[in-house]
């Protein structure tokens, strides 16, 4: 049937569209199979392996996809209404414009009545509970009223997705892109949204009780919304005159100078330090996870091996800073100034001679200024540098796997030995 379907797709003689409606395909290995536009409505696909399969435009209405492995599968515009994806693995799958809304398959019974379709004498509901969708692309997906509880959507693309009245309680949405998504009346209680982008998202009447939004990118209007009253957000330092921050930084310098014997390592995680002037400050090896430094000035700062993962660093000025070995993983540096910064590796002392590379994996650097920056050996896999200024930057031996350079200026940039597999926009 698969061979005939492939012939059908190629318009060859003897080809026929695959009709697997109501068929039990549980536990089969159909890795990389071409089932695009096939009819799999009501099919039992329990624990099936469809990794890398082409299911674009397929009819999977009310299908049983519990525990199915569909990693890297192409499901764009597939009809998944009423499908049960409980515990399914869809990491890196493409689900652009899929329909994941509720739906019920009915059977006509003698006497003129109808009964709901069931598997193993139990009716399954449309849901994505406990599913794994890490780095999946669900752009403009229709998921109104869907159940996505306790699912892992880390780094998923959810731009323009429709989640009205959906249940996303306790879901992991770390680093997700929810730009322009509709979350109105959705239940996000207990969800993790650190580093997630919610710019332009509709959140009216959404439930964010105990949701972690530290490091999330929010509009000013959203921050004023009553919907976020129960959310966990970044906090400002209690004293506004800067005395507490000065004390933390002084103790940190003592900690550095004494090799950890005196003072105390700075931990500024989850704090809102927007607009602060910290030029020349030394926070080497400091902990600043999920910190908010939007619009702050750190010109010439020394932040080698500091951890700023999932931080909000929009329009922050890092020019001429020492950022060797820094951790900017999943950080948002949109419009930040990193001109002439040092982002190369740090030589760790000891017999191993280990190089500690700067980590910018999945960092958002749209429209950032990196002119003349030293990015030698940097790990920038999956980063977005759309429209960034990289004139004269040194990217020798950098890992640029899957990077997006659309509209970026790479004039005079050094790419000697750089890994550019699947990178976009590099001519």
Q: What is the pLDDT along the chain (427 residues), one digit of tens a residue?
A: 889 998 998 888 889 999 999 999 999 999 999 999 999 999 999 999 999 999 999 999 999 999 999 999 999 999 999 999 999 999 999 999 999 988 666 555 566 565 666 666 565 677 899 999 999 999 999 999 999 999 999 999 999 999 999 999 999 999 999 999 999 999 999 999 999 999 999 999 999 999 999 999 998 889 888 889 899 998 887 766 668 999 999 999 999 999 999 999 999 999 999 999 999 999 999 999 999 999 999 999 999 999 999 999 999 999 999 999 999 999 999 999 999 999 999 987 765 667 899 999 999 999 999 999 999 999 999 999 999 999 999 999 999 999 999 999 999 999 999 999 999 998 6
> What is the pLDDT, as a whole number, of residue 198?
96
CATH classification of 236-427 is 2.160.20.80, yes or no? yes
Whose CA is closest to 395, among 363, 373, 367?
A: 373
Tokens of 402: 């899957």
Residues 71/134, Cβ–Cβ less than 8 Å: no
Q: Would you give the DSSP letter of residue 389?
A: B
pLDDT of res. 348: 78
The tokens describing 221, both together, are 């209007």
Q: In 98-163, which ranges are E strands?
A: 106-109, 113-116
Segment (H or E) for 346: strand 346-347
Q: Bridge partners of 364?
A: 332, 384
End-to-end CA distance of the chain: 42
Residue 293: exposed, middle, or buried by beta-carbon count in 10 A (0-12, 13-18, 19+)?
buried
- Rounded distance, CA 390 to CA 372, Å? 7
Q: Measuring CA to CA, which residue among 272, 281, 376 is closest to residue 320?
A: 281
Domain boundaries, the chain: 236-427
Q: Which two tokens stand for residue 390?
A: 């990289």
Q: Residue 424, by phi and psi: left (phi above 0), alpha (psi -120 to 50) or beta? A: beta
Distance from C-alpha of 153 to C-alpha of 279, rounded to nearest angstrom: 37
pTM: 0.88
Closest by Cα among 279, 282, 308 to 296:
279
The two three-digit tokens of residue 244, written as one number: 């507490």
| Spatial CA neighbour of 39 closest among 57, 27, 25 | 57
Q: Tokens 């004023």 identify what position?
A: 224
SS3 118: coil
User: What gap in Å lies between CA 379 and CA 398, rounded to an integer?
Assistant: 6
Rounded Cα gap, residues 330 and 359, in angstroms: 9
């Amino acid at each position: 049937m698969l061979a005939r379907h492939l012939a059908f797709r190629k318009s060859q003689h003897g080809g026929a569209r695959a009709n697997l409606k109501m068929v039990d395909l549980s536990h089969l290995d159909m890795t990389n199979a071409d089932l695009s536009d096939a009819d799999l409505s009501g099919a039992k696909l329990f624990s099936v392996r469809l990794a890398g399969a082409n299911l674009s435009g397929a009819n999977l209405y009310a299908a049983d996809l519990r525990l199915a492995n569909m990693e890297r599968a192409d499901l764009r515009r597939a009809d998944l209404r009423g499908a049960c994806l409980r515990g399914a693995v869809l990491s890196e799958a493409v689900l652009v414009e899929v329909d994941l809304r509720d739906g019920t398959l009915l059977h006509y019974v003698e006497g003129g009545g109808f009964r709901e379709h069931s598997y193993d004498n139990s009716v399954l509901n449309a849901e994505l509970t406990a599913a794994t969708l890490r780095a999946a692309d669900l752009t403009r997906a229709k998921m109104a009223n869907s159940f996505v509880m306790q699912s892992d959507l880390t780094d998923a693309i959810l731009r323009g997705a429709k989640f009205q009245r959906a249940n996303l309680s306790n879901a992991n949405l770390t680093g997700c892109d929810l730009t322009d998504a509709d979350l109105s009346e959705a239940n996000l209680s207990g969800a993790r949204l650190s580093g997630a982008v919610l710019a332009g998202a509709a959140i009216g009447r959404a439930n964010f009780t105990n949701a972690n939004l530290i490091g999330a990118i929010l509009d000013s209007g959203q921050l004023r919304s009553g919907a976020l009253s129960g959310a966990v957000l970044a906090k400002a330092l209690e004293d506004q005159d800067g005395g507490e921050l000065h004390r933390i930084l002084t103790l940190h310098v003592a900690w550095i100078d004494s090799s950890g014997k005196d003072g105390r390592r700075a931990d500024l995680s989850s704090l809102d330090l927007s607009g602060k002037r910290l030029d020349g400050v030394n926070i080497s090896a400091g902990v600043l996870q999920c910190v908010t430094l939007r619009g702050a000035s750190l010109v010439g700062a020394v932040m080698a091996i500091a951890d700023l993962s999932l931080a909000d660093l929009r329009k922050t000025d890092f020019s001429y800073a020492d950022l060797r070995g820094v951790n900017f993983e999943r950080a948002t540096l949109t419009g930040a100034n990193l001109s002439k910064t040092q982002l190369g590796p740090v030589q760790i002392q000891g017999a191993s001679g280990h190089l500690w590379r700067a980590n910018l994996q999945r960092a958002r650097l749209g429209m950032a200024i990196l002119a003349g920056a030293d990015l030698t050996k940097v790990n920038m896999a999956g980063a977005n540098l759309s429209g960034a200024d990289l004139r004269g930057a040194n990217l020798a031996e950098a890992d640029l796997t899957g990077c997006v350079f659309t509209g970026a200026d790479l004039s005079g940039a050094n790419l000697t030995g750089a890994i550019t597999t699947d990178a976009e926009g590099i001519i």
